[in-house]
Each structure stands twice: as structure tokens, then as C-alpha cells.
Amino acid sequence: MGLEIFLILLFILAYPVFEFIFLLDIINARYIKTWDKVIIPPKKEHQLFSDLRFRFLNHFPKIRIFQDRLPEFLFIHRYFMNRGYICMLKHPDYNPEIPHNGIIIAHGEYSQKLGYGDGVDLIIQKFHEKNIAYKIYDCQSIRNFKDIVRNPMVKKIWIFGHGERGGIRIGFECLEYQVEFHNEPESIKKDYIHQFHCNGGIKPSLADLLSDGRGYVSNTYRTQLQNREHVRQILELNSETIFTKIGDV
């Protein structure tokens, strides 16, 4: 039996279980592991697990693609992905000529809607309501990601996609934040950075490097529905509460 057939059969058999778990995920993120309760100090064993996970996915590229595309075949995830994607097409930006929020949706060429279900529509709706400048950056390469981060007009960053605390993965490309952004000028420093990709490990986050730790960087592995719920909670707070230094909550 080929790997593709095995994964398809596994998915079909486990589908009802997946959907039930995802509903529990929303409840867990809303009432138990709220956004302020998942920001914890990183531990060394988290880095070991991250390294092993990265090596495994790097060795089995088909499993990596399956991981990236899995949400497209799950009802709840697909619903929110389409909702976020359509909202982006209708309202891709608002006053992007001035210093603005850069909402980075990082995905490979084979996973066009990855990240759009993580609360992008909630951000767009809130920013329009409050007349907050923003732009959605549909990011399909590491080079594109670097250009967005180094854009001096992007003063606040929200990142959705795959990664770990110390870096991001887009398709089959990986970028370690500390290696790329260890000595940047003040002109590209950010007011805050929210990393809504997975944040395992102990390496410096982008927020550590470019926003003096201000923003949201959990030390947990993220799910789409957990991200969506935590985005909702963050947007409900006032700016003084949201954008404190990580660890001060």
C-alpha cells in the first residue's frame, strides 16, 4: 500500500473523531487555555521536540504536504478558511499608504488558503470598524516574507502559517529569525508582533528580535481553531492590554 493511500484511508476512518476534537479545541481555547494562559517560558525539551519534528517532516515531504492541506478536507476548517479568504478578496487593505498592520498569510504554492481560517476575517472586520490601517500580505516564499518584515511602513505584524518559536516554514523553505534578523536598523523595528504559527522551541522569536518582546508568542503548538479563538479574545481587549511585553500578562 502506497503512503498516499494509507493517509487517505487513515483520514476517512478518523474524520468524525477529527471534527469532534476540533469542537473541543474551540471550547478549550475559549474557557481553559485562553490567550494569556498559553504564554509561558520556553523549555529546553521543547526545542528537542521541535528539532525532531522538523527532521521528520523534512525527511517525508509527502507528509508535510498532507499536513498543510489537511484543513482543506475538514468541514469546520474549510468553512473558516473560505470565509477568511473571501473576506481578504473583498477587503485586502485599508489605508496601506500609512504605517499599518501587516497581516502575513504564509503558505506554499500547494496550500493556497492555509492560514486564512485562523481569524483573518475577524481582524479585517475589527480594523474596518475601528478605522485601523492594515494590509493582507499573501506570502508564498521566504524572500517575500523578508521583504514584508523589512518594509518600514509595516509597523505591526500578525503571522499565520507554519513554524516554530524561532522561525517560519513556507512550503519547503525555512527561515530562522535569529539568523536573518539579528542586527536590523531601528527603522524596521515593530510596535508589536503576533506569531500565530506554532511556537515550540527556545530560539528567539521575531517579537524578541524586532519588537522588544511586545506581542503574542505562545510556547505551544497551534491549531487553526485555537488561533481563531485567541485572535477573537485579543481583539476584544483595548490596545494597552493587548500589546504588553510578552510575559507581563
pLDDT tens readout for residues 171-224: 889 999 999 999 999 999 999 999 999 998 889 999 999 999 999 999 888 899
CA 24 from centre of chain: 20
Nearest to 205 by CA among 238, 171, 247, 151: 247
Provide the pLDDT for residue 48.
Answer: 73
Tell me if 249 is assigned to some domain.
no
Classify residue 165 by its DSSP letter. T
Nearest to 191 by CA among 172, 173, 216, 174: 216
Q: How many CB atoms lie within 10 A of CB 111?
A: 22
Provide the pLDDT for residue 240.
Answer: 46
Tell me if 66 is assigned to some domain.
yes
pLDDT tens readout for residues 55-106: 777 778 887 888 788 888 888 889 999 999 999 999 999 999 999 999 999 9
CB contact at 8 A, 170 and 161 = yes
Q: How many domains, in total, are found in the chain? A: 1
- The alpha-helical segments, DSSP class H, found in the chain are 3-31, 44-59, 61-69, 75-90, 120-130, 142-149, 177-180, 206-210, 224-236, 239-242
Tell me if 247 is assigned to some domain.
no
* Position 159 pLDDT exceeds 50: yes
Residue ranges making up the domain that contains 39: 3-242
Q: For the chain, give me the number of helices (H) and strands (E)?
A: 10, 9
Tell me if 171 is assigned to some domain.
yes
- How far apart, in whole angstroms, are the C-alpha atoms of residue 215 and residue 242? 7
Tell me if 248 is assigned to some domain.
no
Per-residue confidence band for 238, with pLDDT thresholds at 50, 70 and 90: low
Nearest to 166 by CA among 182, 151, 186, 150: 182
Provide the pLDDT for residue 60.
Answer: 81
Provide the pLDDT for residue 16.
Answer: 67
CA 232 from centre of chain: 14
Residue 155 three-state SS: strand
